Amino acid sequence: METILHTPGHLPLDRVDVWFQDEARFGQQNQTSRIWAAKGSRPRVVKQQQFDYAICLAQCVRAMATRRALISPLVNKEVMKQHLKLISETTEPGRHAVVVVDGAGWHTFDTASPFTNVSLVKLPAYSPELNPMEQVWQWLRQRCLSNRVFRGYEEIVEQVSRAWNTFIADVERVKTLCWREWIIWSIN
């Protein structure tokens, strides 16, 4: 009911953009993944023990033309408001952004209240498979950020930015990972 109250009813569905939003932590406690090696060899991979990290808040819109990200040393309601401000500024005049979020503590309806063209829709609890951003994080970790050593926060930010730009450079890859059949109602 709360979602319905926060979504404008006067706009036709063809003026509504569905965005998927999520955040992920990347840092020195990075994951290891498989690597190519000569048969019979035992390759070594360094696993850091330090705790520097950066939070990447990102989203993709169903139209796939816009993919935005914000990198921060922490995440809270203020950072979420900054992120929603990016979405609000990107949304064309006369359109409305419905941002699909999970149940994180900073994904509250009051974070969207300063923006007249943004509303939040919460996913059901324990349903990360409904948010395509989860596959984006997996792609970034497996293809760009695993088996890495970072000197500190600045290098983490630089490498996460580079990984994000690599991801969004291929529009077909973005479409493949971010498209969901169940949002087809919003395209007509």
pLDDT digit of tens for each residue in the chain (188 aa)? 455 565 677 777 778 888 889 998 887 555 666 667 788 887 766 665 555 667 888 877 655 555 678 898 989 999 999 999 999 998 889 999 989 999 999 999 999 999 999 999 899 988 888 888 999 999 998 898 887 878 889 998 999 999 999 998 988 888 888 877 766 544 33
Q: In terms of CATH architecture, what is 15-27+49-130+143-179?
A: 2-Layer Sandwich (3.30)
Contacts of 72 (CB under 8 A, 6+ apart): 54, 55, 57, 79
Residue type, 79: V
Which residues is 16 bridged to in the sheet? 96
> CA-CA-CA-CA torsion for 120, 122, 123, 125, nearest 10 degrees?
160
From the list 140, 121, 119, 109, the residue with the least C-alpha distance to 183 is: 121
What integer pLDDT is reported at residue 173 of this predicted model?
A: 87
Amino acid 117: pLDDT: 93
- With CA atoms as reference, report the closest residue to 60 among 20, 111, 24, 98: 20
- pTM attached to this predicted model: 0.79
pLDDT at 159: 92
Rounded CA separation 57/50 (Å): 22
The b/e string for 23-54 (b: 16+ C-beta within 10 A; e otherwise) is bbebbbebeeeeeeeeeeeeeeeeeeeeebbb
Residue 15 is predicted with a pLDDT of 82
pLDDT value of residue 13: 75
What pLDDT is stored for residue 188 in this prediction?
Answer: 37
Closest CA to 75 of 57, 62, 61, 63: 57
